[in-house]
Amino acid sequence: MFNFHKDHRALVRTAILGFVLLSTGIAIIPASQMQDVQPLPDQKPLSAAERRGLETYISEGCVACHTQQVRGIEMDKMWGDRPSIPSDYFYSKQRMGILRQSPSLLGSERTGPDLTNIGKRQPGIDWHLIHLYNPRAVVGASVMPSYPWLFEAKDETLISEDDVVVAVGKEHFNQVGKKVVATEKALDLVAYLQSLQQAEMPSASSFIPMKKKEDDAKKSTGSEGPPIDDLPDGENLYMNTCAACHQATGKGLPGAFPPLAGSSIVNDEDPETLIRIILQGYDARPDYGLMPSFAAQLNDKEITAIINHERSSWGNNAKPISVEEVTAIRELVMSEQP
C-alpha cells in the first residue's frame, strides 16, 4: 500500500498511469476504431476539381455557416433523405496534407441552409454561379455575402468558347459591353457543391424516425384498406425543387430563369414539351440559364403534381394532366436515347 501523503513520487506515477489508462480507453481506442470507416457503395470520390472546390469552400468561410449534417429530428427532414453517418464524410475528411487534417465541415450554426444534399436540390450550375456572385439575385432575403472576386468582368469581344458566362440580370450587373465570367475557382467551388449528394443506403428506412414512418404510412394509405392514388402536394414540391430559380411567384429572374406565369409552354393544351423539359432539361435559349434534367430526381407522380400546380397558379388556367401522360412521355424519351 502506497502512502501518497509521504511518497509524492508514487502519487505522481499513479496519477500518470491512471491518466494514460483512461486516455487510452476513452480517447485513443475509440478514435482508432472510428478511423475504420468505408465509403458507401454508391458514394463517388471527389475529383480533382471538386477537391479544389472543397479547399475554396473552407478558405472562403462557407464552412462557418453552412452545416453538412442531417440529424434525426423534424427540422432536418427537408435537407436529406436520412440522417448522416460517418461514411458520408469519408472523402471530405481525407488529409489535405502531411501536416494538415481537413477541418470539420459541420459548421457552427445553421445560418444558411444545410448543404448535405444541395447537389440534388440544386443540380444546375447557373443557379450556383448567380448565387455566389450575388445571393440576393436568386434569394431576396438571403444574408449570405457576395463573392464577386470569384468572377471577372470581361469584354464581350474577348469572351472565348471556354469561358462560362454567368446569366446575371442587368439589375445586378450593368457594365456596357461586358459580361460576368466565372473563374476557375468559382467553377471548382460549384463542382464541389454539386458533388454534395447523399448516397443511397439499402437499409436507409431503419434510420427514419418512427413518427416519419407513421406519417408516410398515413399519406400512402387510408385509415384502412389499400393504398390511395392521390398525388403529392404539387405546391410543396415546386417550392422545394423549382422555386429557387423560377421563384415562388412564378415570375422567374430576368436574364437568368424564364417566367412560368403566362408561359405558352406551361399553358399549352399539349403538355409534352413541358414534360420533356422537366425530364430532359432545356438549354435552347441563350438568354437564360441551363435547365437541368430532373428525370432521376422526380418520379412520374411528383412531376404530374408540379405541372398541375404550375398550370393552375399565377393566372395560368390550363387543364390538369394525368400521371399516365407523364409516364408515356418518359417511356418515349427513354426509347429515343442511344
CA–CA separation, 12 and 16 (whole Å): 6
Shared domain check, 188 and 85:
yes
**Is 225 among the domain residues?**
no
Dihedral Cα 325, 331, 333, 338, nearest 10 deg: -170
Least confident range of 38-42, 154-158, 193-197, 317-321: 38-42
Shared domain check, 172 and 56:
yes
Shared domain check, 132 and 22:
no
Contacts of 45 (CB under 8 A, 6+ apart): 39, 91
CA angle 304, 309, 311 (to 5 degrees): 95
Q: What is the pLDDT of residue 177?
A: 86
**Is 280 among the domain residues?**
yes
pLDDT > 90 in the chain, percent: 39
CA–CA separation, 195 and 82 (whole Å): 17
CA–CA separation, 281 and 182 (whole Å): 22
SS (H, E, C) 307-336: HHHHCCCCCCCCCCCCHHHHHHHHHHHHHH
Residue 294: closest CA among 336, 238, 215 = 238
Shared domain check, 302 and 167:
no
CB 116 within 8 A of CB 196: yes
**Is 264 among the domain residues?**
yes
Q: What is the pLDDT of residues 224-238, one digit of tens each?
A: 433 335 888 888 888
In this structure, the chain runs to a length of 338
Q: What is the pLDDT of residues 166-181, one digit of tens each?
A: 888 778 888 888 999 9
CB 65 within 8 A of CB 202: no
DSSP state of 150: G
pLDDT > 70 in the chain, percent: 87
Shared domain check, 123 and 248:
no
Q: What is the pLDDT of residue 137?
A: 86
**Is 73 among the domain residues?**
yes
Residue 178, beta-bridge partner list: 155
Shared domain check, 25 and 59:
no
Dihedral Cα 156, 161, 162, 164, nearest 10 deg: 50
Q: What is the pLDDT of residues 14-33, one digit of tens each?
A: 999 999 999 999 988 887 77
HSE at residue 40, side-chain half, CA atoms within 13 A, is 17
**Is 262 among the domain residues?**
yes
Mean pLDDT confidence for 2-17: 84
CA–CA separation, 56 and 244 (whole Å): 24
Shared domain check, 319 and 243:
yes
Q: What is the pLDDT of residue 201?
A: 77
CB 51 within 8 A of CB 189: no
**Is 21 among the domain residues?**
yes
Q: What is the pLDDT of residue 219?
A: 44
Q: Which cell is 7 given?
A: 511518497
Q: Is the pLDDT of residue 208 over 70?
A: no
Q: What is the pLDDT of residues 118-152, one digit of tens each?
A: 998 888 888 999 999 999 888 888 899 999 999 99
**Is 86 among the domain residues?**
yes
Shared domain check, 313 and 180:
no
Residue 118, beta-bridge partner list: none
Q: What is the pLDDT of residues 79-104, one digit of tens each?
A: 888 888 888 888 887 766 666 667 77
Residue 153, beta-bridge partner list: 180
CA–CA separation, 33 and 179 (whole Å): 52
CATH of the domain at 331: 1.10.760.10
Number of domains in the chain: 3
Shared domain check, 169 and 249:
no
Q: Which cell is 152 given?
A: 471577372
Shared domain check, 181 and 68:
yes
Shared domain check, 188 and 150:
yes
Shared domain check, 116 and 236:
no
Task: Label residue 244 by pLDDT band (50, 70, 90).
Answer: confident
CA–CA separation, 131 and 34 (whole Å): 36
**Is 161 among the domain residues?**
yes
CA–CA separation, 203 and 219 (whole Å): 21
Domain containing 137 equals 48-195
Q: What is the pLDDT of residue 205?
A: 46
